[in-house]
Structure 1
């Protein structure tokens, strides 16, 4: 009798299917609620309650009475709560830092907007003929450069510069 490739593959498929079935049964067993397990064991007549069966073997006999399954379940739950709490605290701290950064950016933007608004108000209060001259004066140009570029007299440029300085205060 010779074993071919086909037979080997069939055996492997059966073994994989059996393993998957075994894993699924174990997962189903883990999903069962803990409260139904002791009742089922008592009905089967196994005698000893499930709480004492799950105790580690290193505990002395008198400690078995005081320790129950609920005590063993509380520890992982408390540990999970601590991990969750610390993660949430880190996220809250990070969010607070981001809010502080956004507040700083917002304050800087507010200052910039107020400066631009002051420039706009200054340029609107001046005749349209002197609008460019006023913008240059607000930007910091001196009277000679304003007079040359805008084609106005030096005295007019001096007045525009003085007006711009008085509105900045």
Structure 2
């Protein structure tokens, strides 16, 4: 019984060696014992080309997924930038409404802010609850204050 087991082990060992030898010969482009036939060479080239094509298609698919992911991230960043711009606009309008020109009565500060934004006289009078003539006065003060600011910056 022992001899049979050893014989099987030796036969398997020789078979493994033979398969390794064949594999090494295939890697070197030779077939053991004979030269390659042209049809076999073409067939191997087709297989290699098919594998290369398959590998390239896999890479293209991965690149497409990467591009799609980058587009999603870019869209998210655009949305974030728009939200930041909206917040900055809101902060700017709050700052403008908070600025009160020295010497201006507090009840006219809101009207002055609206005048600086360029609202017409009727809208200022309606929103602030003041007369049209008062709104005209506030608007002229706002325009004159804007011109004075421009002259100071020069």
Q: Please report the TM-score for the alignment, with normalisation by the length of structure 2.
A: 0.46
Q: Please report the TM-score for the alignment, with normalisation by the length of structure 1.
A: 0.43
